[in-house]
Structure formats: C-alpha cells, structure tokens
Amino acid sequence: MKPIALPDSPYLLLTPGPLTTTASIKHKMMADACTWDDDYNNVVQQIRARLVRLATPQSGYTSVLMQGSGTASVESVIGSVIPGQGKLVVVANGVYGQRIAQIASYLRIPHHLLDAGETAGPDLAALEQLLASDPAITHVAVVHCETTTGMLNPIEAVGKIVKDAGKIFIVDAMSSFGGIEMDMDQLQIDFLISSANKCIQGVPGFGFIIAKRSRMEEIKGRARSLSLDLYDQWKCMEEHNGKWRFTSPTHVVRAFAQALNELDAEGGIAARAGRYRNNHRVLVNGMRRLGFQTLLRGSQMSPIITSFYSPAHPDYRFQRFYSLLKQRGFVIYPGKVSNADCFRIGNIGNIHPADIERLLAAIGQSCYWEHKASTVAATGT
C-alpha cells in the first residue's frame, strides 16, 4: 500500500490544548498497536520513566497514565487520594481551580474553596489561617498556570505553607508541566497532574500523574470510581510492565513517545521554556504596539497563554475577529474570565516567534473595527 500523506492543517492552533503538533508526531499515529504486546508496553514504561525524570532529578517518584482528557486525571487524583475522613482545601483563582472544587462536590468530599477571584493571586495568609483553624484538613490543591487568564500561581509559597502545616500537596500543572522548569521534589508536590496535549506537545487522549511512590502506596482502596482508580491503574502498570487496566489510547501513546523525543531534541524543558518565553514576549510587545492591553500585569503572566482585553470599540465582535484570523490561518481562543471581556492567545505547541510575527501581521489586518470596510471586504463576513 502506498503511504498516505498527512492532510494539511488549515490553521495554526493558538489554543492551549489541543495545540499545533509536528508532522512527525501526527505521523506516529498512522500505525496500530496491540495493548498487551511487549513492544507497546515497553513504550508505556519508557514514557512513565521519562515523565518522572522531567519532574525531578530525585528518586522515590513514580508516574501513572490515565485515559481521558486532563480533567479525568484531576478527578482521578481527587477521587483516589483523599481518605473517607479527609478534607480538601482548593486554592482557586479561575475556572480550573473551581473545577477541582466542583469535582470534590460531585464526589461528596468535604472541602473549603479559597477563591481569590480571577485576577488576583492566592490569599496566602488566609490559607495559613484556614489550615491552622481546621484540623480535619488533610489535602490542599492548587492550579499552577491558571489557563483561564494565563496567571502563574506561586506554587512554591503555597507548598511551603501546606508542608509547614503537614498536609498533602496536589498541583494541577496541566498547562505548565514541560513548558516551565520545575522540580516537584523541591516544590514539595505530592501529586502533580498534567496531560498529553499541553506543553509536552502530544495529541489529546490521556493525562498523567507523577507522585511520590510512598504516597501512592498509601492510597489503596480509597477510590470513588472504578475507571478512575489511581492506585489500581498504577499497580497494574507496575506489576504488568506498563499494562493499562482498560483499553489504552494506543495511537496517542505512540505520538506522545515521539513528543518526548522531540522535547529532548529541542534541548529539554529549559529550551522549550525559552521558546515559549520568546513567543510570549513577541506576542505581548506586538499586541501592545497594535493597541491591545493585557488583562494581567507582567509579573502575574505565564509564558503559556495570554489574555487580552477586547477592544472597547462598539463594532468589535469576537466571532468576526476570530473568523477573519481563521481565514488568515490562525485560530485563537475566546475569553473565559467572567468579569472582563477578553480573548486569549496561546503560545504553546509547535509555534515559534516567526509564527507569532505572522500572527501579529494577520491581527493588524483583521482589526476591522478600526479600518475602512474595504480593507477587510475580502472576508465576506
């Protein structure tokens, strides 16, 4: 049979997952694999070991892969690690933090929600007080990069408070792991959660959890769901050379192994983080030149995704702006902040500063509310 060429992508995804992936990653999905064959399970084992090495140089850590979108992995952790008598604190400042509290509500896990709103950092003094005042608390969860706004949360400071109080620390590092340098041992993270289609630049289909081995040993029998039982999934992978309990996303897994190769080839997380920072810098400077303002101050922003205020002009409509950009080969993200009108642009994926320069030119041509109708007439919208 003749090899089939990959279809052309109609646009670059400037969304933080799924994101623009390389042709070589997509190509890896064009073969089928058997879920109980050693060759496939060896790929899984290598992925697990490599994830641990990316998370920390220290020993004593392990990883588990879990089917589903990133939220399934968050739900797996929340539902599997907190004992029947346990209590969770969720430190939130956006949709993804609130989602952790929502998961706890669904699972009827007692919890406190410390919500700072969407444009402020976590209230560390309030966290310290809460931990001191309620001895029933066992676990604290926080989001690292809050993708709602692009805010980077101070997980080092949060972790110190959590550990001084002797609690277990859970971090949703979904949109930062692989794109921002961190050592989970130094940050005292017990359970770190991320997924295939964020900064490792794979395709969607599974998430992963990196945890202290000793913590994993403690959680047997706590799960509130069969298919999201973190301990059981881990035990199966440990005892059966990387075997998943139920059908694994084989194509996605093979693509992810290639994505890890490409992360190494780029120079590891430090080099990737440098590229993302460059993308972000070029984007923010260029957007400011075009008259756009960022939602967050410089020190709050992550190099992952950036929120910009929508133009105040009465003729501006996100949908029209989006369509004009899509016709020019770029897809951006609507805003997710409840109290400010914004749109978002992601910097992650197989995106380079030259792509951002082209994007800026396209945005300059798509500001239809500023231009005479003729300059954007070609669009037909």
Ligand X SMILES: *Cc1c(COP(=O)(O)O)cnc(C)c1O
Q: Using the rule CB under 6 A, is 172 a contact of ligand X? A: yes
| Residue 17 binds ligand X, judged by CB under 6 A | yes
Name which of 144 and 275 has its Cβ closer to ligand X: 144
Instruction: Identify the residue among 119, 175, 188, 294 touching ligand X (CB under 6 A).
Output: 175
Nearer to ligand X, 249 or 311 (CB): 249
90 scored as a contact of ligand X (CB under 6 A): no
Residue 208 interacts with ligand X (CB under 6 A): yes or no: no
174 binds ligand X (CB under 6 A): yes
Nearer to ligand X, 251 or 328 (CB): 251
Q: Which stretch binds ligand X (CB under 6 A): 69-77, 225-233, 264-272, 334-342?
A: 69-77
Task: Report how many residues bind ligand X under the rule CB under 6 A.
Answer: 12
Q: HEC string of the chain?
A: CCCCCCCCCCCEECCCCCCCCCHHHHHHHHCCCCCCCHHHHHHHHHHHHHHHHHHCCCCCEEEEEEECCHHHHHHHHHHHHCCCCCCEEEEECCHHHHHHHHHHHHCCCCEEEEECCCCCCCCHHHHHHHHHHCCCCCEEEEECEECCCCEECCHHHHHHHHHHCCCEEEEECCCCECCECCCCCCCCCCEEEEECCCCCCCCCCEEEEEEEHHHHHHCCCCCCCCCCCHHHHHHHHHHCCCCCCCCCCHHHHHHHHHHHHHHHHHCHHHHHHHHHHHHHHHHHHHHHHCCCCECCCHHHECCCEEEEECCCCCCCCHHHHHHHHHHCCEECEECCCCCCCEEEEECCCCCCHHHHHHHHHHHHHHCCCCCCHHHHHHHCC
Window of 30-38, 169-177, 273-281, 360-368 that interacts with ligand X by CB under 6 A: 169-177
Q: Does residue 147 interact with ligand X by CB under 6 A?
A: yes
| Cβ neighbours of 24 (radius 10 Å) | 15
CA distance 64 to 230: 8
Q: How far apart are CA 186 and CA 217, in angstroms?
A: 21
The CB-of-249 to ligand X minimum distance in angstroms stands at 13
Compute the least distance from the CB of residue 163 to ligand X, in Å.
22
Strand-strand pairing, 191-195 and 330-331: unpaired
With CB under 6 A as the contact rule, which of the stretches 24-32, 70-78, 227-235, 283-291 interacts with ligand X? 70-78
Per rule CB under 6 A, is residue 205 in the interface with ligand X? no
To the nearest whole angstrom, how small is the minimum distance from the Cβ of residue 90 to ligand X?
12
Stretch that binds ligand X, among 128-136, 170-178, 338-346, 361-369 (CB under 6 A): 170-178
| 76 sits near ligand X (criterion: CB under 6 A) | no
What binding mask, one character per residue, do residues 292-331 give for ligand X by CB under 6 A, x or -?
A: ----------------------------------------
Between 150 and 311, name the residue whose CB sits nearer to ligand X: 150
Let me know if 272 is exposed, middle or buried by CB neighbors in 10 A (0-12, 13-18, 19+): buried
Region of 49-57, 172-180, 332-340, 356-364 interacting with ligand X (CB under 6 A): 172-180
Choosing from 13, 65, 77, 96, the residue that interacts with ligand X (CB under 6 A) is 96
Over the window 180 to 199, marking each residue x when it contacts ligand X by CB under 6 A and - when it does not, the resulting string is ---------------x----
147/347 with CB nearer ligand X: 147
Where along the sequence are the contacts to ligand X (CB under 6 A)? 17, 69-71, 74, 96, 143, 147, 172, 174-175, 195
